[in-house]
Amino acid sequence: FGDKDLDLRLSNPLHLRVLLEDKRFTKCRIVLLHASYPFSQEASYLASVYPN
């Protein structure tokens, strides 16, 4: 599964919080594809807390 160089932890959608909380991007639509697997719970949290 994947490359040995790949660090799956860096794929966690919670890293998007900095962007989502930045007032400059409040009108920017964010789309998470493939349910952000294996980070489905984290993606669900973001979708429930942030309107964009």
pTM of the model: 0.76
Give which of 1, 4, 14, 15 is closest to 40, Cα–Cα.
Answer: 14
Percentage of the chain beyond pLDDT 70 is 96
Provide the domain count of the chain: 1
Residue 3 belongs to a domain: no
Cis before 38? omega within 30: yes
Q: Are 46 and 17 in contact (CB under 8 A)?
A: yes
Residue 13 belongs to a domain: yes
The pLDDT of residue 8 is 84
**18-42: pLDDT as tens digits:** 999 999 999 999 888 877 888 999 9
The pLDDT of residue 32 is 85
Range of the domain at 45: 8-49
Mean pLDDT, the chain, integer: 89
